[in-house]
A and B are shown apart, each in its own frame.
Chain A
Amino acid sequence: MTRHPVFSRIDANLATLLIGAVILWFAPAGLKSYGLYVISLWLVMSIAAMGLNLTLGYAGLKSLAQAAFLGIGAYTTALITAKGGIIGPGWSWPLAFVVSGAITFFAGVILGFPALRVKFHYLAFVTLSFATVMFLIFRNEQWLTGGVYGFSNIPRPSVMGSKLDNDLAFFRFVLVVTVLLSLAMWWMLRSPWGRAFTALRENPLRAASLGINLRAYTLLAFAIGSAYGGFAGALYAPLVEFIDPAPFAISASFVLLLTVVVGGQGYFLGPFLGAAFSYVLPEVLRATGGLYLLIYAALVLILLLITPQGIIGIVEKMRENRRQKAAQEQRNASKVMLEA
């Protein structure tokens, strides 16, 4: 009996996540350092996209600043963990991770306030402005961020006294953090909060009439989504070991938004698919020389024309059709019983 399709769908998400994690733990054993870098990058950007998916896909708030939060997390982590930094290399990464999340959480709360006043596209432009200002700060405040020369020698974190200089070990570390953050997101989305976020997106007026505190949930969606950007930044900095402002520019925020929509906004696994499309595919396309961005943009356009609900939208549509067919049959059957 398919009695609880929604609940079983959520469990399918969890199962996919855990099975995927196990496979990823063992799969890359043969990969060279570049391959490990690419799949680590995929996971890191999936975390950033997961946060944006909460803000955008579940709560319906359009943010064009996710790359700026990624940047805040990356620079915070660099400033704390680098040699000569606030604490320096060694055990400091977990602290940097928490601080990155906290700073971006509060930045998200502040940025969320306009969301209480203005609607749809206006909010996109407020966040766009924030992202631009952050980019200018990353670029111009050389004493803090290294400016256009960047911030180098960001160390890999240490776990239980041993430094994760080995790329495979660091990848597995990224994987573990990704899984933990995904589990937290999964839990939140299936909790009453998840329902409230969805209600916020679908019909705020009705949600308010059911006692849902729009203000609190709007700010939470924004803040938690931003914090995931910060968490991703905390992993991004040690992954690339050198950061400059470029990957946190406006265009990078656009690409993250694209990632969420292409993957399937409002679907738990959408960000992973989207990030594979936006960050792994271009690496594959690098073989085509300078044309990779062009090909990527063309593919996005074609994909959106085929399925505006994103990659996962195709799967969901098929599943929904099957479900409705089953429900229809059940209804017909009960009708027959009633008439008999």
Chain B
Amino acid sequence: MDQFVQLILAGLATGAIYALAAIGFTLVWQTSQTINFAQGEFVMLPAILVLAAVKFLHAPLPVAVLMAVGGFLLLFGFGFKQYIVNPMARHGILPLAIATMALSILMKESAKDGFSAEAQQFPSLVPEGAIQLFGATLSLRDIAIFVVAVVAIVGLQLFVTRTKTGRMMQATAQNPTVARILGISTEKMILLTFLINAGLAILASFLISPVYLAKFSNGEVIGTAAFIAAIVGGFNQVRGALAGGFIVGLVDNLAAAYVSSAYRAAVPLVLLVLVILFKPEGLLGSKEERTV
């Protein structure tokens, strides 16, 4: 029983990371019909950038963090939209999705060849240690991950629902044509979602890397989890992505404990297929359209 509680709590921490990645994924999908197959690499890279700035430029850590954040927002918030999504968008979903696949290989290989093929330590703000809760041992880092991620998500939600800019962004996501008619500068709003996506990826990267180390291949697991979370929760809903993230995090951790390690990776996928077959709009999603 203690183990079960512990797994649940750890699952919530992992789930919070997945939720961050899945929310960004969903936002970008909503505003620009981009299926970003490089989403996992988006979470992998910021931590690597920090370490690279320390290693190659001998920058002190805070400076390195600033450089990594600025550089990443510029390249993968603004640059990604401007130079990959914009030119490809009018050719439909597929070529763009393929381009993001190529981008994911590019990011992964760059991290590997340009920095390191080995997993690297990443500094954490939170000390190692654990506390007892409901009879379960819980690491401080897991708690920190959960708290920071939830604060970020609540903040994002408040921004989207309570501020004028946030509401304009939401309108753009739901119906770009109507938003444009209402005089909203949809171009700016779409850019904003890409910047938010990049921001969430940076946050997820800094949260997860101290625990799992920074490695070029980290994106594979996180990316898949983010897709599954987004679909399980509902592809067109931010709160769906949030719920999906936690569900996948929990399933992931429980499967690790109760299913043979050889087939652990298949469990979230089975969940995914079941959702797709029986509730394709996602657990919290609304129907997009009807197939006749």
- Give A residues with C-beta under 8 Å from B: 56, 62, 114, 117-122, 125-126, 128-129, 132-133, 136, 139-140, 205, 208, 251, 254, 257-258, 261-262, 265, 290-291, 293-294, 296-298, 300-301, 304-305, 308-309
Contact = CB atoms under 8 A, between A and B. Distances in A.
A129 B98 contact: no
B102 A293 contact: no
Given A132-B269, A304-B98, A125 B227 contact: yes
Nearest to A129: B269
* Size bin of chain B's contact surface: 35 or more
A304 B97 CA distance: 11
B105 A261 contact: no
B178 interface: no
B101 A254 contact: yes
B231 interface: yes
Contacts, number: 109
B5 interface: no
In this complex, the member of B92, B102, B103 whose beta carbon has the largest number of chain A beta carbons within 10 angstroms is: B102
Given A121-B35, A294-B110, A304-B88, A257 B276 contact: no
30 contacts: A117-B280, A121-B93, A125-B227, A125-B228, A125-B276, A126-B272, A129-B266, A129-B270, A129-B272, A132-B224, A132-B266, A136-B262, A136-B265, A140-B262, A208-B292, A254-B101, A258-B98, A258-B102, A290-B113, A291-B113, A297-B103, A300-B98, A300-B105, A301-B102, A304-B95, A304-B99, A305-B88, A308-B92, A309-B91, A309-B95
B94 interface: yes
Interface of B: 35, 37, 83-84, 87-88, 91-95, 97-99, 101-103, 105-106, 109-110, 112-113, 224, 227-228, 231, 235, 262-263, 265-266, 269-270, 272-273, 276-277, 280, 291-292
A133 B262 CA distance: 10
Given A132-B269, A305-B88, A293 B101 contact: no
A117 B277 contact: yes
Given A301-B102, A308-B88, A133 B269 contact: yes
Nearest to B231: A125
B102 A304 contact: yes
A173 to B, nearest CB: 33
B272 A125 contact: yes
A305 B277 contact: no
Contacts of B105: 251, 293-294, 296-297, 300
A298 B262 CA distance: 34
Contact of A297 (B91, B102, B269): B102
Nearest to B288: A119
Contacts of A118: 276-277, 280
B263 A140 contact: yes
For A126, A129, A290, A309, the residue with the greatest tally of chain B CB atoms inside 10 Å of its CB is: A129
Nearest to B114: A294
A294 B101 contact: no
A77 B257 CA distance: 36
